[in-house]
Amino acid sequence: MKAENISDLDNSPGQNRLNKANKEGILRFLPPLPLFTLQPLLTHIVKSIAKKHPKLFLRLGNSANKTFLINPTNLPFFLILKPDPNNPTLKAHNRRDIIKHDVYIASSFATLLKMIDSKTDSDALFFNREIVVSGDSEAMVALRNALDDMDDSLASDVAASFGPLAPPIRKIFDLVNKA
Amino acid sequence: MSELLYADKPELICPAGTPASLKVAVDAGADAIYCGFVGPTNARNFPGLNFSLEEMAKSVGYAHDKGAKLLCAINSFPSAGRTDIWKEAIDNAVSIGVDAIIIADIGMADYMSQKHSNSRIHLSVQAGASSPEAINFYTDRFDIKRVVLPRILTVAEIKKVHDEISCEIEAFIFGNIGMMAEGRCSLTNYVTGQSTNMDGVCSPANFVHYEEDEDQNLTTRLGEFAIDCIGCGQNAGYPTICKGRYNVSHRKEYYAFEEPISLNLTHLLPDLIKAGVTALKIEGRQRSKSYIRSVVSSFRNAVDGYARGETPDISDLLALTEGHKQTEGAFKSKAWR
């Protein structure tokens, strides 16, 4: 995927890091993945969360118009979240894709899962350098606080959104959390 | 085993930045929760944080149903022409039945004592009242029921204060430690034009920038100023000027103000209670539910354990501290660096 205007990407906070990883990481040997197979799942997740938690967008405020690049560093793709209240989207991209973004958040998949499952504190992750953040700090803080204001956890709500498949998905989350 | 210390356990006062955090705090054993409205009226005015009036009203109901209290923090300082925002917040908080309002500004203390004389006022740490004379002025003039003491007094000094005042004492026991003159820090204002004390924002997020280079050195900026460069593998702290490192004439990368470190008074709890502290406060309205759950349940166990004569172990809280370091600060010794 090509960006329409490469100069627009100069301010995308995670681009240099992604470029470096693409040059050096083992993932560079992998062919592009058929990520379109993931897309229905991701769309289901983001739509069901938006439907269940409409107040999330109030907490996001103007940051709902921002683009968040979420990089699970040990997976062969990254995610682009656009929490637009009218059309929230979550899309998977191959690591070679260049996507303009406002906020960059990176950590291992397990750590990111623990964070959205309210099993760990994001400030503590930052203190310990287990999570890398850069870009629009206001949007980053707003997203963190908006996602934290759920009676259960985002991960539990994601699992619950799959109906009868919720228990096995929850079990997988628990296994990853314990790993 | 420790001695059995007290018949009446002190209240455990816990933070909440969102309704979900409030429920976690209540369920983890908080006796009271403090939180604030969205906007500049409280000292944690961060993006996506705090309560609407509707959320605060529902949270009062949740807390009361579970036997807990809700304390509303309206503890920043209004400037001329903006006092109506603070007065409206006070009126709203009283109307929904909060158990006390935490006030810092002397004008708002006066407003509340005149307009809502039956409501309970707690004097915020932001007011910086540390002497019996200052505290007695507030109790005599505005009938405050409790003072939250600045984090600059030793336990022995707290005892002396207690012996000369008529209101309750609340003391911080965990979290951020502010050694600046509390309520009067202008460092953020100096750099960004936004005030910690009047806008409720210490290091406003829209001025904070993180840059990590290829070697994983993390530079933290506030506005145009670099306030720290943290080497790969080194622990980070909050992006505040007071916790930054600077190159000064005699040292490089020097914590010129204070180090990133958290207050932890677990082992001083018995001494604090003996000194007359009736409410133990945990800092951290800006922190996550996970932090709230861990810290509140740990201190619930600690307070209950000491009451039974046991010595609790809450060493696991170190992972949640800023910079991975903790201190007993001025409570233990006047010089603690």
For residue A61, the chain B residue with the least C-alpha distance is B48
Contact residues on chain B for A58, CB-CB shorter than 8 A: 52
pLDDT of residue B184: 76
CB pairs under 8 A between A and B: 109
**CB-CB under 8 Å, B234 with A137:** no
Same domain, B114 and B200: no
pLDDT of residue A137: 96
Alpha-carbon gap, residue B323 to B276, rounded angstroms? 31
B4 domain residue, yes or no: no
For residue A105, the chain B residue with the least C-alpha distance is B210
Same domain, B281 and B220: no
Point out which residues pair with B172 in neighbouring strands.
Answer: B281
For residue B205, the chain A residue with the least C-alpha distance is A138
pLDDT of residue B6: 54
pLDDT of residue A152: 87
pLDDT of residue B334: 80
**CB-CB under 8 Å, B322 with A137:** no
> What CATH number is attached to the domain comprising B303?
3.20.20.70
B28 domain residue, yes or no: yes
Contact residues on chain B for A136, CB-CB shorter than 8 A: 206
Q: Does A122 touch chain B (CB under 8 A)?
A: yes
Q: Does A50 touch chain B (CB under 8 A)?
A: no
Q: pTM here? A: 0.91
Domains identified in chain B, total number: 2
Alpha-carbon gap, residue B302 to B307, rounded angstroms? 8
B3 domain residue, yes or no: no
pLDDT of residue B179: 66
pLDDT above 60 for A136: yes
Beta strands in B139-270 (DSSP E): 146-148, 168-176, 208-212, 218-222, 225-230, 246-248, 251-254, 262-264
Q: Does A10 touch chain B (CB under 8 A)?
A: no
Contact residues on chain B for A16, CB-CB shorter than 8 A: 214
pLDDT of residue A7: 47
CA A77 to chain centre: 11
B203 domain residue, yes or no: yes
Same domain, B140 and B97: yes
B337 domain residue, yes or no: no
Q: Does A148 touch chain B (CB under 8 A)?
A: yes
Same domain, B74 and B196: no
Nearest to B23 among A119, A138, A151 (CB): A151
Q: What is the pLDDT of residues B189-236, one digit of tens each?
A: 899 999 888 888 899 999 999 988 888 899 999 999 999 998 878 888
Same domain, B192 and B45: no
Same domain, B193 and B46: no
Point out which residues pair with B230 in neighbouring strands.
Answer: B218
Q: What is the pLDDT of residues A7-24, one digit of tens each?
A: 455 568 888 777 777 777
Average pLDDT over residues A43-58: 93
**b/e B39-65 (16+ beta carbons within 10 angstroms → b):** bbbbbbbbbbbbbeeebbbebbebbee
Q: What is the ipTM of this complex?
A: 0.91
Same domain, B84 and B205: no
Same domain, B106 and B27: yes
Contact residues on chain A for B233, CB-CB shorter than 8 A: 129
Nearest to B236 among A127, A137, A139 (CB): A127
Fold of A7-178: Nonspecific Lipid-transfer Protein; Chain A (3.30.1050)
Where in chain A are the domains?
7-178
Looking at B230, B254, B278, the residue that finishes a domain is B254
Looking at B234, B254, B274, the residue that finishes a domain is B254
pLDDT above 60 for A61: yes
C-beta neighbour count of B118 within 10 angstroms: 5
B2 domain residue, yes or no: no
- Give the end-to-end CA distance of chain B in Å, rounded to a whole number: 31
For residue A56, the chain B residue with the least C-alpha distance is B48
**CB-CB under 8 Å, A149 with B291:** no
Q: Domain containing B192: what range? A: 187-254
Same domain, B199 and B108: no
Best residue in B22, B62, B212, B216 for a mutation probing chain A (most A CBs within 10 Å) = B212
Looking at B210, B228, B254, the residue that finishes a domain is B254
Q: How close, in Å, is residue B271 to chain A by CA atoms?
A: 29
DSSP class of B51: B
Alpha-carbon gap, residue B108 to A122, rounded angstroms? 35
Query: What is the 3 state secondary structure string of B225-248?
Result: EEEEEECCCCCCCCCCHHHCCEEE
Q: How close, in Å, is residue B2 to chain A by CA atoms?
A: 32
Nearest to A118 among B52, B207, B289 (CB): B289
For chain A, the average pLDDT equals 88
Best residue in A10, A55, A103, A121 for a mutation probing chain B (most B CBs within 10 Å) = A121
Same domain, B227 and B103: no
pLDDT of residue A12: 81
Q: Does A130 touch chain B (CB under 8 A)?
A: no
Same domain, B225 and B281: no
**CB-CB under 8 Å, B287 with A121:** yes
B5 domain residue, yes or no: no
Q: Does A124 touch chain B (CB under 8 A)?
A: yes
DSSP class of A8: G
Residues of chain B below pLDDT 70: 1-7, 179-183
More confidently predicted of A31 and A116 = A116
Token pair, residue A61, equals 């405020």
Same domain, B125 and B42: yes
